[in-house]
Amino acid sequence: MFNFPFSLQTFFVDIILPVPIPGYFTYRVPKDWEAYVQKGIRVVVPFGTSKVYTGVIVAVHSNPPTKYQAKYLLEILDEYPLINDKQLDLIEWIAGYYMCTPGDVFQAALPAGLKISSQSKIQLNPTFEEWEQLTEKESVFCNFLKEKESCTFDEAKSFLEVKSPYYLIKSLVGKSAIFVFDELKDRYSPKIIRKIRLTEYYTHKEHLTQLIGVLEAKPKQLAALLLYLQHISVLRDPSLNAKGLDKKIFTQSEISESSIQTLLKNEVFEVFEQVISRFSEGDDELIPTKFELSNAQNRAFQEILKSFETKDICLLKGVTGSGKTEIYIRLIQEALANGDQVLYLLPEIALTTQIVMRLKKIFGEQLGIYHSKFSDNERVEVWKSVAEGKYSFIVGVRSSVFLPFNNLGLVIVDEEHETSFKQTDPAPRYHARDVVTILAKMHQAKVLLGSATPSFETYYQAKNDKFGLVELNERYGETLLPEIHLIDTKYAAKAKQMNGGFSEEILDKLRVNLEAGKQSLLFQNRRGYSPYIQCQLCEWIAQCTQCDVSLTFHARDKELKCHYCGYKETLPTRCGACGGTSLQTMGYGTEKIEEEIQMHIPGARIGRVDLDTTRSKTAFQNLILDVQNGNLDIIVGTQMVAKGLDFDGLSMVGIFDADKIINFPDFRAHERAYQLITQVAGRAGRRGAQGEVYIQTNQPTHALFQAIIDGDYEGLYQEEIVEREGYNYPPYVRLIRLVIKHVEDTKAKKAANDLGNLLKQNFGAGRILGPEKPLIEKIRNLYAQEILIKIENGVSLSKFKINLRENLDLAQSWPSFKGVQLIVDVDCL
Ligand code: ADP
Ligand code: ZN
Ligand code: ZN
């Protein structure tokens, strides 16, 4: 590095800080550091009276800020840019497009471990072993951390007796010796399993065969040993012994604990602990790696390549079970062979399933996984591995768009219609599917969007030749799409064919399916036991104290819970209004379905898949494995089960409450209902015989059902698109939603009205809808009002937004906006 000892200018840097304040911040560079500052490097700076943040440099210049006195940088963290130019451009683009601050985006983009601040908390990595890599000071600090669960930034500072401990902390993060996290909930807790293996002596074939002979006389111990050898074939390959066997496998089988203990005592077995991070490594030998593409798949594959010759974005519209994944794999292999990086986005929950294990098996060390259930430390690891080129292929959730790619060649967005690609809260409220198109453009990469039921926005682009369009209309292996039947619940009720929420027909089919050894899936999009409880005398309904919603009864916890703010209370015994004791649970949640089905079909092994049963990182995966291994007969689940699951034995699907999905008050209700029901139905009969789907509804003549039964996506699209055009909804306009919140109802209304009038004046009344109260008026004691802005295609979005921003800034300076929270959601869903 060179130095400019005689430079007369003063150096300033503009940096992004992780704070929700618009714009960049200018700091002064101490003379000695002038040679070291450059774009993309992280620096530590003082902020406000006492805070300290990590920011990233976006520009180096010699212009002092005009409105304030620039403070000096405290520390430079990187020798080389940690954040590349494309990432900085992307951050800026997102901030502009989604009308938030670069700081909001920066906050979302970087794992906490890469942006140490005065609010950071620090913890020793419990699995850290390479102490010899530490400097003396680092090692002293780590020993200090060893004695505590975690320490605050200030504690670190005073222990180290230095003004600025950042460099040391950063170095320790780099060596994976410590973790830095923002909040207690992010604290890293490794999962440790206890495993058993043979002691070294018995890994030798002659010792082992001898032992087997000896144990002939002790059948219980022999059984334990044989169970081990059945899983770990040490006789074939002694090195396999190192893997060991999860202790649980012994306890779950018939093996007695005492025989294990004896074998341990006699030093045949030994126990060791293994820390498992991320997912099981896909060492399942049953996962196949190689498939031949079918003719249809091959045709689609070729068409995609062809489309990429002239277009950057292609939609692969392939029915459920058509084997889109195989086509992705082929494309990924090509891109990697080309030396390009690949990003494969999946909706959150699909990431913990079979497909990821299979990808891991195929792509091995090149593949990194980026999941929201990862600890921050794991995210830092993935970040580093992408930057260093160790991972050239990332499978991840929406936030993986922020990883430090430098040579992206292909981006795949699977299940592109999924709403979970859009972040709702907090800002940046970005849509990962849309962001990747910009990201891809920066890298000159291709984008493949895949879905059986594309969003109408995407399909519209494809229809209008903006995107390529490739269709795959048959399932792999000539399996037929499931047959869909409607069950008229009104009629069934009259004919006395309803058992509570279940029609006789569904129960019968479940029994038949069970007897045939097949699995069934029941879909109910509500978790908990019952969505509300009601007094039978006065009709009082238990409500959340902070939100405008009823409380859901959760039977297992015997509690009423609010699904919006987390408020809980124990189940009351008396009515909150009249004091009567006849409270009744009303409606069906997954818990109640599980309970009642168990009652109707006593022998069935039932599993439930919803937010409550899958909170931990491995819970969902374990449930999936149980289904796959045939340990469950019936699965009851929420929309979590709609995404990308692929089970051989699942041949029947039952759908409850379809009416609620269809009648949801939203212009996208039919599109969504079609997607959701088709996707859930698509889980049935994916292999071999045709599957069956039963939908309970009290409006069986609704046209949407016919479209679903016929798989007539095109027909539905044609019909809806006319309405969208007629009433000015996407894809014919862009939508921006403004949400105005205040603790007082009247103040929220007043502010929203004032703002609404201003916008109508400046943008024309036709473009502004509302203000109106949202579906749920109050959440967490804040009352909300919404304004919807429609921007016709053809209007310059960027100009419109600048103008809108000015209007919003003006409104926020008004007295009526005091204490008001204003949220801007661009391309709201
Ligand atoms: P989609 O994502 O289109 O719903 P999947 O990619 O999950 O469908 O494929 C459905 C099933 O068919 C999977 O079990 C997959 O392993 C199997 N399959 C798809 N293509 C092939 C192929 N070419 N050879 C063998 N099996 C295949
Ligand atoms: Zn609440
Ligand atoms: Zn009452």
Question: Measured in angstroms, how far is the CA atom of residue 236 from the centroid of ligand 3?
Answer: 71
Specify the 3-state DSSP secondary structure of 62.
Answer: coil
Structure tokens at 195: 């495993």
Question: Which residue did the predictor score with more confidence, 290 or 230?
Answer: 230
Cross-strand bridge partners of residue 653: 521, 693
Residues in the 5 Å CB sphere of ion ligand 2: 544, 546-547, 562, 564-565, 567
Contact 180, 174 (CB under 8 A): no
Question: Measured in angstroms, how far is the CA atom of residue 562 from the centroid of ligand 2?
Answer: 5
* Per-residue pLDDT at 131: 86
Structure tokens at 659: 């009416």
Say if ligand 1 is within 6 A of residue 621 CB: no
* Per-residue pLDDT at 475: 86
* Ligand nearest the Cα atom of residue 537: 3
What ligand 1 atom has the least distance to the C-alpha of 355?
Answer: 7
Specify the 3-state DSSP secondary structure of 633.
Answer: coil
Q: Which helix (H) or strand (E) holds 758?
A: helix 745-763
> Does residue 2 register a pLDDT over 70?
no
Nearest to 250 by CA among 239, 240, 262: 262
Nearest residue (by CA) to ligand 1, atom 21, is: 323
Question: Measured in angstroms, how far is the CA atom of residue 392 from the centroid of ligand 2?
Answer: 43
Say if ligand 1 is within 6 A of residue 294 CB: yes
Question: Measured in angstroms, how far is the CA atom of residue 565 from the centroid of ligand 3?
Answer: 25
Nearest to 828 by CA among 730, 722, 745: 730
Nearest to 639 by CA among 660, 610, 675, 607: 610
CA neighbours closer than 13 Å in the CB half-sphere of residue 405: 31
100 is in an annotated binding site: no
What ligand 1 atom has the least distance to the C-alpha of 320?
Answer: 4
* Ligand nearest the Cα atom of residue 581: 3
Contacts (Cβ under 8 Å, ≥6 apart) of 346: 355, 395, 396, 397, 414, 415, 644
* Per-residue pLDDT at 281: 46
Say if ligand 1 is within 6 A of residue 646 CB: yes
Question: Measured in angstroms, how far is the CA atom of residue 279 from the centroid of ligand 2?
Answer: 34
Burial class (CB in 10 A: 0-12, 13-18, 19+), 453: buried
Nearest residue (by CA) to ligand 1, atom 10, is: 321
Question: Measured in angstroms, how far is the CA atom of residue 678 from the centroid of ligand 1?
Answer: 17
Say if ligand 1 is within 6 A of residue 318 CB: yes
Question: How far apart, in whole angstroms, are the C-alpha atoms of residue 109 and residue 36?
Answer: 24
Nearest to 393 by CA among 459, 333, 438: 333
What mean pLDDT comes out for the span 197-203? 93
544 is in an annotated binding site: yes
Say if ligand 1 is within 6 A of residue 197 CB: no
Phi, psi of 561 (to 5 degrees): -130, 145
Strands (E), 388-451: 393-396, 408-414, 446-451
CA 21 distance to own-chain centroid: 27
Q: Measured in Å, how far apart are the chain's first and last C-alpha atoms?
A: 50
Say if ligand 1 is within 6 A of residue 415 CB: no
Query: For 636-687, how does the pLDDT look when each residue is reduced to its tens digit (9 = 90+)?
Result: 999 888 776 778 888 999 999 899 999 998 999 999 999 999 999 988 887 7
538 is in an annotated binding site: yes
Domains of the chain: 12-117 (3.40.1440.60), 118-186 (1.10.10), 295-476 (3.40.50.300), 483-528+589-721 (3.40.50.300), 531-586 (no CATH), 733-826 (3.30.70.600)
- Going by their DSSP bridges, the two strands 121-124 and 178-181 should be labelled as antiparallel
What mean pLDDT comes out for the span 254-283? 76
DSSP result, 73-105: P-EE--SS-SS-HHHHHHHHHHHHHTT--HHHH
Query: For 504-532, how does the pLDDT look when each residue is reduced to its tens digit (9 = 90+)?
Result: 999 999 999 999 999 999 999 999 999 99
Contact 232, 244 (CB under 8 A): yes
Contact 618, 591 (CB under 8 A): no
What ligand 1 atom has the least distance to the C-alpha of 472?
Answer: 3
Query: For 475-512, how does the pLDDT look when each residue is reduced to its tens digit (9 = 90+)?
Result: 888 788 899 999 999 999 999 999 988 999 999 999 99
> What's the pLDDT band for 1 if we cut at 50, 70, 90?
very low
What mean pLDDT comes out for the span 232-253? 84
Nearest to 829 by CA among 669, 702, 648: 669
DSSP result, 145-214: HHTSS-EEHHHHHHHHT-S--HHHHHHHHHTTSEEEESSGGG----EEEEEEEE-GGGGSHHHHHHHHHH
Question: Measured in angstroms, how far is the CA atom of residue 523 from the centroid of ligand 2?
Answer: 25
> Does residue 367 register a pLDDT over 50?
yes
Query: For 95-143, how does the pLDDT look when each residue is reduced to its tens digit (9 = 90+)?
Result: 999 999 999 999 999 988 888 887 788 888 887 888 888 999 899 899 8
Nearest residue (by CA) to ligand 1, atom 2, is: 324
Say if ligand 1 is within 6 A of residue 747 CB: no
What mean pLDDT comes out for the span 783-799? 95
* Per-residue pLDDT at 350: 63
> Does residue 284 register a pLDDT over 70?
no
> What's the pLDDT band for 278 if we cut at 50, 70, 90?
very low
Nearest residue (by CA) to ligand 1, atom 23, is: 293
| pTM, rounded to two decimals | 0.85
Average pLDDT, the chain: 90
Say if ligand 1 is within 6 A of residue 771 CB: no
Structure tokens at 611: 């937010």
What ligand 1 atom has the least distance to the C-alpha of 682?
Answer: 4
> What's the pLDDT band for 280 if we cut at 50, 70, 90?
very low
Question: Measured in angstroms, how far is the CA atom of residue 22 from the centroid of ligand 1?
Answer: 47
Query: For 560-600, how does the pLDDT look when each residue is reduced to its tens digit (9 = 90+)?
Result: 999 999 999 999 999 999 999 999 999 999 999 999 999 99
* Per-residue pLDDT at 737: 97
How many C-beta atoms surround the C-beta of residue 515 within 10 A? 9
State whether the Cα torsion 587-591-595-600 is positive or negative.
Answer: positive
Share of the chain above pLDDT 90, in %: 66
Please compute Rg for the chain using Cα positions.
30
> Does residue 621 register a pLDDT over 80?
no
What mean pLDDT comes out for the span 146-159? 84
What mean pLDDT comes out for the span 138-157? 86
828 is in an annotated binding site: no
314 is in an annotated binding site: no
Question: How far apart, in whole angstroms, are the C-alpha atoms of residue 47 and residue 30?
Answer: 17
Structure tokens at 159: 């222990």
578 is in an annotated binding site: yes
* Per-residue pLDDT at 821: 96
Say if ligand 1 is within 6 A of residue 678 CB: no
